[in-house]
Amino acid sequence: MVSDISTTLALIGGGNMGSAMLAGLLGGESPPYTSDRILVVEASPERAEYLTSTFGVATTTLDEAAQRAGTILIVVKPYHVAGVLAELSGNLTDEHLIISAAGAIGIAQIEGSLAGKNPVVRCMPNTAASVGEGMTAISAGTHAQPADLDKVQSLMECVGRVVRVPESQLDAVTALSGSGPAYFFYLAEALIDAGVLLGLSRPLAVELVNQTAVGAGLMLREAGDEAVRLRAEVSSPGGMTIAAIRALEGGAVRAAVMSAAEAARDRSVEQRSA
């Protein structure tokens, strides 16, 4: 039974991102939370049953979540946020920390929906949180203190890496790392199909591409901002790789990636302004 409100987390929303967060927070050899310190609010009875059976967490109502948890993490679709905040507002004290991972909902909108002066921190994680390798950007609201940001950073570091940015940069962050996993999955899908086109079995192509992605990702993380150097080191003069790179450049892949990121950024702005 949860008893200490200051060390209890309420997760509002048990969809894909919510379950990714649960997997990250409760996984590993030394998880930062135990299941009895996390409460989940999920509207779908079937989904709530799944989360309870999978992660061992209790599901509850918004009212009870506010009464039993000092930290509220909102991970619902943007169109549900207004209703969630309206129901939460009357049950909050100024000590409740509100963390929003709902895309396209600005801090001003969240603060304007609350009756008090709650510290609000907006964050943008990605689905790699489910394997402890997420990338999250966080931004402080008007009433958030350095200690609140520290708490949110510590929380999100349980599921990956964290950077602090001004809220004005979160639309760009959403386009890059928030949507980023989908771009890599799309490239992996294309490479797997290329393997099949070249005569490999699909299972073999999947194994080759997936492990290549893991290895390349680790190399990138170690190299920092030296992606160009890593690519050049594989591209021998007159060799196969540079021929492939030329074909990619001829197909304007680099420009397409930049356009895709701009489209995601613009869509984030549109949704926030709607």
Q: Write the single-letter amino acid at 274.
A: A
The tens digit of pLDDT for each residue in 133-165 reads 999 999 999 999 999 999 999 889 988 999 999
Cα 83 to Cα 149: distance, rounded to the nearest angstrom: 25
47: Cα separation from own chain's centroid: 20
Domain residue spans of the chain: 5-170, 180-273
pLDDT at 166: 97
CATH 2.40.50.100 for domain 180-273: no
How far apart are the C-alpha atoms of 71 and 64, rounded to whole Å?
Answer: 13
Tokens of 233: 């080191």
Q: At 43, is the secondary structure helix, strand, or coil?
A: coil
Amino acid at 43: A
Orientation of helix 180-197 relative to helix 202-223, angle to 10°: 140
| Residues written for the chain | 274
The overall pTM is greater than 0.75: yes
Query: Are 65 and 87 a contacting pair, CB within 8 Å?
Result: no
Q: How confident is the model at residue 30 (pLDDT cuts 50, 70, 90)?
A: confident
pLDDT above 50: residue 2: no
184 CA to centre of own chain: 15
Q: Please give the CATH superfamily to which domain 5-170 belongs.
A: NAD(P)-binding Rossmann-like Domain (3.40.50.720)
pLDDT digits (tens, 9 = 90+) for 172-226: 999 999 999 999 999 999 999 999 999 999 999 999 999 999 999 999 999 987 8
In 125-219, which ranges are E strands? 134-140, 160-164
pLDDT one-digit tens code per residue, 159-184: 899 999 999 999 999 999 999 999 99
